A and B are shown apart, each in its own frame.
Chain A
Amino acid sequence: LPAGLSQWFPSLEVLDVSGTGLAELGAELLALPRLQTLLAKNNRLGGPGSLPKGLGQAPLGRSLRVLNLSGNHFAEVPPALLELRGLQSLSLGGNRLHGIPPDIQELRSLEFLYLGGNFITSVPPELANLPSLSYLVLCDNKIQSIPPQLAQLHSLRSLSLHNNLLTYLPREILNLVHLEELSLRGNPLVVRFVRDLTYNPPSLQELAGRTVKTRNVPYTPSDLPENLVRYLSLATNCPNPKCRGVYFDSCVRQIKFVDFCGKYRIPLMHYLCSPECSSPCSSASQSSTSQSDSDSEDEASVAARRMQKVLLG
């Protein structure tokens, strides 16, 4: 890019250098104080130095709202990028990413995140700390599971997960009340009821912790060593509404099927405090056609209200 760029075009708001073969975006861009949209797709960016140093502190770092780096050679999200506090839209589709850095949460203004067509194998829970995220694309990757924390993305309207390696979804996904689009096709989703038969019995510490919590045994921080106070604060409530138990590390994984819109069945993973604790539907049935239980109907109506539209395979 020409060195005089910011002097010649100080009011530049949109710059498209897509398909120009650029291997790096240079310092010439840093002084463009009005640049809001930078499109640099289908180039040769991805090596060290692809983005200019000092990006976060430069005028460009404050003004940039839309950044499209799709179709390049990025093997990781460049750390410099995470300094763009004002960034609203980021596309890294069609690169060579193997993961998503937890520091993605630094992009506080992010509304649109496109990461489709990479080699991503897992999603960090920190992704859920993006309060404005409304469109998240993770399709065409190698993702095996979605962290339940993603349910905290209250603004999420569209979630694209098609063509990954998902066998189930976290139960908490039902909490995404504004979700209107969900694509799941091309995943090896579990279609038959599955019960995880390996259950490690709780340790004595866990049993004691459970008793303290469920019996409301009073304690103060001075009564217990600090590590146990912390341990007790990590109790998770059993999701079975009829059970008032808690668990710490020892839980039973179960896959339950929930109907969306009365037509589609999604396998959701949830954790119960013990094999005896069960949602009524899990009792004996191992068949995939057992939909007629009260619990799963409750869930179905909840899901139907909340999920307006599901794009399934």
Chain B
Amino acid sequence: MSVGAPRGLASSGQKPITEILHPLSAAEEPISPGPDVTVNVGGEKEAVLTNGTPVETSSPASASSLFNRLQLDDDLEADARDPYASMETRDLFVTVDDPKKHVSTMETYITYRVSTKTTRIEFDLPEYSVRRRYQDFDWLRIKLEDSQPTHLIPPLPEKFVMKGVVDRFSEEFVETRMKALDKFLKRVADHPVLSFNPHLNAFLSAKDLNKRQGLALLTKVGESVKHVAGGYKLRARPAEFCAMGEYLDTFSQKLGTIDRIAQRILKEQSEYLTELREYGTVYSSWAASEEELRRPLEGVAGCVTTCCGALEDLSENMSQDFLPVLREYVLYIESMKNVLRKRDQSQAEYEGRLEAAILRKQEDRTPMPIEVEKCQDKVECFNADLKADWERWQSNKRQDFKQLLTGMADKNINHYEKCQAAWESLITLLQDKQTEDKTSETN
């Protein structure tokens, strides 16, 4: 126990109990990995690809593929700064896939297969495969928030969907949700503190989750009541947390704008597609009344149809992959804001108690009560955890958006390549015919 100015490292002050138990924790010296480091992952030798671009994989987690996914381009220095840099200690791999519909008398719902591969001793087995539904993920998230209030918990996709508006069982909806759940779980599994949470363990391994959802709900209510009842006013928020708050506000605003732009593009593209299809049919019907020009006109009609198809693919991709990720980040920002608020709360509480204690001390010279010291520790831990999580979040955000935007660029490039190929083949067709005609003319 220390009563001093809060320090940056999490190693100061009281460590959360989960950290102490694990040898592969952040207390280890963060190594700055070289470009061709070979890393031991629980006995497996893996070669690190320095230029491995993140690979989306929906197959059951394998060490190398997840390695590739996590081994990001050149910027290893940024990760070296992260005291929680745990790339070289990856020993927990999770995947969410294989959605299935369940019909019971009471309700219909979807379950997903959650596969785990691990070498951690906290798990009894090296592999697990369980089925979970959205409710279970929600339960996990609530549990994590309650037990790790100082950490940023990744967000879940939206819980409620308007029954009339969205088809909860459509392939697209299920696919999108599944990807978001997979991302959620991977982020938790990557987190050096959250991944050791016993609730996560239960989620991944238990046959039947003993869902005390009712209790969980009460607990959540309890927490918020506590916060409100706390009623302490924050004096001076440290500048860095102010900056974080401002950043999050602006960032969320910009993401909202990008979302609107993307939706607008989809709308314009859809209207363009309608006209383009009509346009193609006009060429076809003209071809019917022509002789020499029939082939060229039909050729053009064909090209237009191909372009329609390419455009459909592009639009589908935007709405299935691009938009959901954007929206999920908005949720992520909300989570982060929540954590900042909780931090503010704990600081306010500490300041309040401190002030009260000082007053009392002045009156009757009683020593600093223990609760005040506990509060101070709590604040210090919170600040440290938050800063570490912030760095991690920033780094992940950078990679996620890099991936998202390059993906968008790739899809657009792909679309134009398809169209170009169609038109080029038409030209060869028409020009071949021209030389054919010319040679037959001179003969």
Bound pair: A and B? no
